[in-house]
Amino acid sequence: MKRIYLDHGATTPVDKEVTKTMLPYFTEKYGNVSSLHSFGREAMEAIDKAREHIAKLINAEPKEIIFTSGGTEADNMAIKEIAFNNREKGNHIITSKIEHPAVENTCKFLEKMGFKITYLAVDKEGFVSTEELEKTITKETILVSIMHANNEIGTIQPIEEIGKTCKENNIYFHTDTVQTVGKVPIDVKKMNVDLLSSSAHKLYGPKGVGFLFVREGTKISSLIHGGNHENGLRAGTENVTGIVGFGKACELAMERMNKKTTHLTNLRDKLIKGVLEIEDCWLNGHQTKRLPGNANFSFKYIEGESLLMYLDEKGIAASTGSACSTKELKPSHVLTAIGLKPEEAHGSLRLTLGKDNTEEEVDYVLKVLPEIVEKLRKMSPLAKNK
Ligand SMILES: Cc1ncc(COP(=O)(O)O)c(C=O)c1O
């Protein structure tokens, strides 16, 4: 049976060109960046090249890119290090109610340490209000952390406006761009972003590597203590193969962005139009201000988990809620934040398209999904009582 992968929001396959670029760094060019000999220099040159590709993609300077073990570490570093290094200025951090657990739980940890955290509400499409943000800022506010696009519902925030508000108020601004780097144009200068986190495995790079952009002059130190790697800002022998892969993935993303976005947007809109023909179902998030490959629906009277199982039987890989929380039975905090009742949140389905998905695959989903929904509703006591 042909398998159709519609879970690119969880992770993506490593691009063949990326793998090819990485391979020599496992077996031939395996030097440690800290070594002074030619092997070390070769590795250093490779990560410098990757840093340049990444910096170019977000309009930053190469020295402002710090490699990490992924998005989670980059989020932790940004928030904790701003908090710990700017205590003399204040102890208030503003974030939103729909952040990824990497941000949400870092903020909860800081709350236990005495920091004051404001979790901004979002509207029914998932947008943070800049006016609300302005009202929440106090003299104690040191950091605002708002994600660029949400991993579940795909909503893209007005980052430029948020950045402007932070700049005017002299507050550091961090944004989690794990879902957007390589998919949506990013310019850290235009967006007034001071810190930005990303991860390679969402853009056809390998797992276990990410970066934090830190604007020059930002008061920050290393989260992980040890050697003097990454200019003293992230200890630990560099993951050279991973970084090389990330650099290549960013280079390819930049070359292919326009074509890829058009392809993804067309497929997404076809999918949305087709799925919305099913009775008692709706789209979560905004119709157009959303990630090019993201579609998130709620179906009344059924459980997202059963939907996933039946789709999986037909070869279709999707998710309900976010990948990182599928083992929990709590309704998604993102879906409840946009106003869904717990039972409506449980009936959600996230389909995230990738560059290699085709129209035929979308047609297949549009044929299979209504049949599954009908079958599940026939079995559902909730549907019978409607
Ligand atoms: C918005 C967002 N932030 C952070 C992360 C965590 O990134 P990583 O898997 O590289 O730790 C993810 C992963 O799903 C994500 O979607």
The residue contributing the CA closest to ligand 1 atom 5 is 71
Residue with the smallest CA separation from ligand 1 atom 15 is 178
pLDDT confidence bin for 323, thresholds 50/70/90: very low
For a mutational test of ligand 1's pocket, the pick from 7, 72, 150, 155, i.e. the residue with the most ligand atoms closer than 8 A to its C-beta, is 72
Question: Please, which residues have CB within 8 angstroms of residue 323's CB and are 6 or more apart in sequence?
Answer: 7, 9, 10, 11
Atom of ligand 1 nearest to the CA of 323: 14
For ligand 1, atom 7, the nearest C-alpha belongs to 71
Q: Provide DSSP, 280-327.
A: TEEE-S-SSSB-TTEEEEEETTS-HHHHHHHHHHTTEE-BSS-GGGTT
**Category of 204 on φ-ψ map: left (φ > 0), alpha (ψ -120 to 50) or beta:** left
386 has a pLDDT exceeding 90? no
Query: What is the distance between the alpha carbons of residues 72 and 382, in angstroms, rounded to a whole number?
Result: 38
For 167-191, write each residue's pLDDT tens digit.
999 999 999 999 999 999 999 999 9
List the domain boundaries for the chain. Answer: 4-11+257-380, 16-252
User: In this structure, which residue's CA is closest to atom 8 in ligand 1?
Assistant: 71
- Please give the distance, rounded to the nearest whole angstrom, from the Cα atom of residue 152 to the centre of ligand 1: 11
Residue 314 Cα to ligand 1 midpoint, Å, equals 28
**Residue 72, ligand 1, Cβ within 6 A:** yes
Band (322; pLDDT cuts 50, 70, 90): very low
Q: Which atom of ligand 1 is nearest to the CA of 200?
A: 10
- Quick one: what percent of the chain has pLDDT higher than 70? 97
201, 212, 252 from 18: Cα distances, Å: 11, 21, 9
pLDDT of residue 385: 62
Q: What is the mean pLDDT of residues 101-118?
A: 98
User: What residues are paired with 155 via a beta bridge?
Assistant: 290
* CATH code of the domain occupying 4-11+257-380: 3.90.1150.10
Q: How far is the CA of 102 from the centre of ligand 1 (A)?
A: 7
Selection from 106, 53, 46, 45 nearest residue 80 by Cα: 106
For residue 99, give the ligand 1 atom closest to its CA: 1
- Worst-scoring range by mean pLDDT, 140-149, 154-163, 322-331? 322-331
53-64 pLDDT, tens digit each: 999 999 999 999
Q: What's the gap in Å between 322 CA and the centre of ligand 1? A: 10
Q: What stretches of the chain show up as alpha helix (H) in DSSP?
A: 16-22, 24-27, 38-58, 71-85, 101-112, 130-136, 159-168, 229-232, 240-275, 304-313, 333-337, 342-346, 359-379, 381-384
**SS3 state at 142:** strand
Q: What is the overall mean pLDDT for the chain? A: 95
Q: Which atom of ligand 1 is nearest to the CA of 149?
A: 1
Give the lowest-confidence range in 246-255, 320-329, 364-373. Answer: 320-329
Torsion of CA 306, 5, 10, 129, to 10 degrees: -80
Q: Give the strand order in the sheet containing 92-96.
A: 65-68, 210-214, 195-199, 172-176, 141-145, 92-96, 116-120
pLDDT at 384: 63
Q: Do domains 4-11+257-380 and 16-252 have the same CATH topology?
A: no
Looking at ligand 1, which atom is closest to the CA of residue 102?
4
- Which residue, by CA, sits nearest to atom 16 of ligand 1? 151
Reply yes or no on whether the pLDDT at 326 is more than 60: no
Residue 324 has pLDDT above 50, yes or no: no
Which residues are registered as beta bridge partners of 295? Answer: 351
Decide whether any atom of ligand 1 lies within 6 Å of the 70 Cβ.
Answer: yes
Name the architecture of domain 16-252: 3-Layer(aba) Sandwich (3.40)
Distance 242 CA to ligand 1 centre (A): 16
Say how far apart CA 305 and CA 307 lie, in whole Å.
5
Instruction: Tell me the DSSP string of 33-93.
Output: TT--SHHHHHHHHHHHHHHHHHHHHHT--GGGEEEESSHHHHHHHHHHHHHHH-TTT--EE
Q: What is the pLDDT of residue 383?
A: 76
CA of 101 to the centre of ligand 1 (A): 8
Q: List, for residues 330-363, the tens digit of each pLDDT value.
A: 889 999 999 999 989 999 999 999 999 999 999 9
For residue 221, CA distances in Å to 73, 217, 233 come to 14, 11, 6
CA of 100 to the centre of ligand 1 (A): 7
pLDDT for the residue numbered 345: 92
Q: Which of 59-63, 139-143, 380-384 has the lowest mean pLDDT?
A: 380-384
212 within ligand 1 shell (Cβ under 6 A) = no
Catalytic residues: 324
Pocket test for ligand 1, best of 67, 100, 104, 105 (most atoms within 8 A of CB): 100
